[in-house]
């Protein structure tokens, strides 16, 4: 029986950073927890980043995920917004690295495609699909729903990567006797 692994998803933002943790056991996904970390716009940038870092570090220490999926920044026109999201993403990546987590990054469209089936899905569509895939989550905040969607996307993609690795290992094992008997190197090895 497979052991469940925990994956954390993050929707980075300087004012609001959504987070969500799921457990994956085979193909079964289970909601663990979710929330939104906030920082006050009245504080200076350093204190805001520290608040996000401390909060995220506490969640990682408490829930013990093995991997973290961080949504990449997508900003259409506002360079100031891009910088703020970049700072928040840096905190997310730093906290993940400090926690020894496997770190993955996905574009918003990639996450939406994995969860909803459409790369340009609306926030409402993402939230509805997260509620359907994780019925016990009762997620109301869009930031937390996006974070759970990132975790779900990583779970699906990690599962696919694992299947490919197993298949390739099997092919290499089948090719090894051929290489030994003919003295030729296998193209797979």
Q: Encode pLDDT of 135-144 as tens digits.
A: 999 999 999 9
Short-list 7, 3, 1, 4, CA closest to 158: 7
Phi first, then psi, for residue 126 (nearest 5°) are: -65, -45
Task: Write down the pLDDT at residue 54.
Answer: 97
Short-list 132, 126, 120, 136, CA closest to 21: 136
Neighbour tally for 110: CB within 10 Å: 16
SS3 30: strand
Q: Go through 52-84 and write b for each residue having 16 or more CB atoms within 10 A of its CB, e for each that does not.
A: bbebbbebbeeeebebbbbbebeeeeeeeeeeb
Task: Judge whether 59 and 20 are in contact, CB under 8 Å.
Answer: no
Residues 6+ apart with CB under 8 A from 179: 185, 186, 189
Entry pTM: 0.83
User: Six-digit token pair at 64?
Assistant: 């013990």
Q: Is 143 a catalytic residue?
A: yes
- Comparing 60 with 1, the larger pLDDT belongs to 60
SS3 84: helix
Q: Is 71 a catalytic residue?
A: yes
Catalytic entry in 43, 62, 71, 105: 71
Find the Cα–Cα–Cα–Cα dihedral 25, 30, 35, 36, rounded to 10°: 60
Task: Judge whether 61 and 99 are in contact, CB under 8 Å.
Answer: yes
Q: Encode pLDDT of 45-101 as tens digits.
A: 999 999 999 999 999 999 999 999 999 977 667 888 888 889 999 999 999 999 999
Task: Write down the pLDDT at residue 45.
Answer: 94
Task: Write down the pLDDT at residue 81.
Answer: 82
Tell me what percent of the residues of the chain surpass a pLDDT of 90: 66
Catalytic entry in 102, 124, 143, 172: 143
Give the strands of the sheet with 28-38, arranged side by side.
Answer: 28-38, 16-25, 5-11, 67-71, 102-106
186 confidence band (pLDDT: 50, 70, 90): very low
26 confidence band (pLDDT: 50, 70, 90): confident
Task: Write down the pLDDT at residue 187.
Answer: 46
- For the chain, how big is the Rg over CA atoms in Å? 19
């Amino acid at each position: 029986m497979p052991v469940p692994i925990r994956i954390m998803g993050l929707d980075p933002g300087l004012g609001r950073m959504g987070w969500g943790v799921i457990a994956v056991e085979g193909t079964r996904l289970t909601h663990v927890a979710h929330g939104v970390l906030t920082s006050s716009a009245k504080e200076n940038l350093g204190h805001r980043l520290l608040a996000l870092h401390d909060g995220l570090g506490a969640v990682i220490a408490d829930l013990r995920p093995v991997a973290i999926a961080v949504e990449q920044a997508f900003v259409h026109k506002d360079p100031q917004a891009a910088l703020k999201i970049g700072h928040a993403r840096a905190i997310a990546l730093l906290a993940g690295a400090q926690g020894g987590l496997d770190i993955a990054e996905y574009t918003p469209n990639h996450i939406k495609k994995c969860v909803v089936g459409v790369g340009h899905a609306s926030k409402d569509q993402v939230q509805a699909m997260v509620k359907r895939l994780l019925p016990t989550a009762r997620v109301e905040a869009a930031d937390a729903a996006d974070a759970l969607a990132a975790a779900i996307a990583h779970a699906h993609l990690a599962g696919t990567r694992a299947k490919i690795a197993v298949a390739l290992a099997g092919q290499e094992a089948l090719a090894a006797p051929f290489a030994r008997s003919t003295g030729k190197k296998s193209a797979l090895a």
